Amino acid sequence: MKNVCLLGSTGSIGLSTLDVIKLNPDEYSVVALTANKNLKRLLAQCVEFRPRYAVVSKHDDADTFRQMLESSDAADTLVLSGAESLEFVAQLPEVSIVVAAIVGAAGLLATLAAANASKTLLLANKESLVISGDLLMTAVKDNGGLLLPVDSEHNALFQCMPDGYKAGQRIDGVRKLILTASGGPFLNAMPGELENVTVEQACAHPNWSMGKKISVDSATMMNKGLEVIEASYLFDMPAELIQVLVHPQSIIHSMVDYVDGSVLAQLGNPDMKTPIAHALAWPKRHRSGVAALDFITNNQLSFEAPSYDKFPCLRLAYEALDIKGTAPAILNAANEIAVDAFLSKRLRFMEIPKLIEKVMVNSTIDSADSIESVITADAEARIIAKQYVENF
């Protein structure tokens, strides 16, 4: 029985993780669940999985949630709150697996805490690697932990690596990593048609069911840009050896090109339960509940190069990776502010990359050799980005 701490249990990754756990009840026990605002969903999860701990983001919500639990079948669950409590549950001695599924920079410190506590870290929070890639990979290595990628593309690359591969290793026989991208809802749109995109249109992903922030990132292809940065750290590969291909069907989730001419690909239906089940069970395999891929139905697989004119966020991500230091943290912070402004209708869709580029140009880029420098860069970039939002 593996004891699991699920950071971000009420989001799409959290829900899929719990679905996989339900299919394999003899393999996993849920020790801790954490959520941001969705107390009703967290309550239902506590009743079903009976965790020892439940963590809510805001201290003001803790008393409310305790009252909600008192009249439920999960009254014994201990309620904690705040960022420090996320770090606490991520380091619990009885926990062996930490699923990092909190969206954005908010999950950084808890993810690092899990790495420092030698946990098996199932990483769905790509921003942690984008912001502090060297620091996180060093923490995993120095403390004897294990990092297993949950993002579908990086999990696919991981599955295509040689037996016994561990994240952070450079494989000499690899010539290139190929990340696939669906192209999002605006793949066939002309750049001029994107000026008046609505929130609803940007969040209507053709293949994947995701939260609003990630859906917008997919529509701008910033999500793929962040994944390029993540792949660089996970597989110790430079930017020029990481290629993005648009693959609208989302059947091939990524590929590894080897020097002998072989290209290994991982295929499957577009469902996050597959990479989650793979990471939870690794090195074994458990049921995920995902239907088998029907090759007769899915008999047309196409590919094309992404357009930087239509998706400038992808270009900006490659530039941040080339610069290194705190540039990726600045990129991520500016994007989070820009997407939030778009979702609240204070920024237009095509103003998202413009704001990000302004912040990158006008921010001081330092080395990212400490968590303090990363957090400082993140905070300063957010201040600059918020100022630009007001002036757009």
Give the residue extent of every domain in the chain: 2-149, 177-264+307-391
Q: Is the pLDDT of residue 313 over 80?
A: yes
Say how many C-beta atoms besides its own lie within 10 A of residue 116's C-beta: 17
Q: What is the mean pLDDT of residues 30-37?
A: 95
- Which architecture, in CATH terms, is 177-264+307-391? Orthogonal Bundle (1.10)
Pairing state of beta strands 97-100 and 78-81?
Answer: unpaired
Q: Is the pLDDT of residue 208 over 70?
A: no
Where does the pLDDT of residue 29 fall: very low under 50, low under 70, confident under 90, or very high at 90 and above?
very high
pLDDT at position 209? 62
Q: Quick: pLDDT tens for 41-82.
A: 999 999 999 999 999 999 989 999 999 999 899 899 999 999
Q: Give the whole-angstrom CA distance, residue 154 versus residue 176.
A: 14
Pairing state of beta strands 252-258 and 174-181?
Answer: antiparallel
Q: Is the pLDDT of residue 199 over 80?
A: yes
Smallest Cα–Cα separation from 158: which of 237, 222, 102? 237
Q: Is the pLDDT of residue 339 over 80?
A: yes
Strand partners, 126: none
pLDDT at position 207? 66
Same fold, 2-149 and 177-264+307-391: no
CATH class of 2-149: alpha beta
What Rg do the C-alpha atoms of the chain give, in angstroms? 20
Q: Quick: pLDDT tens for 90-108.
A: 999 999 999 999 987 788 9
pTM of the model: 0.92
Q: Quick: pLDDT tens for 107-132.
A: 899 999 999 999 999 999 888 899 99
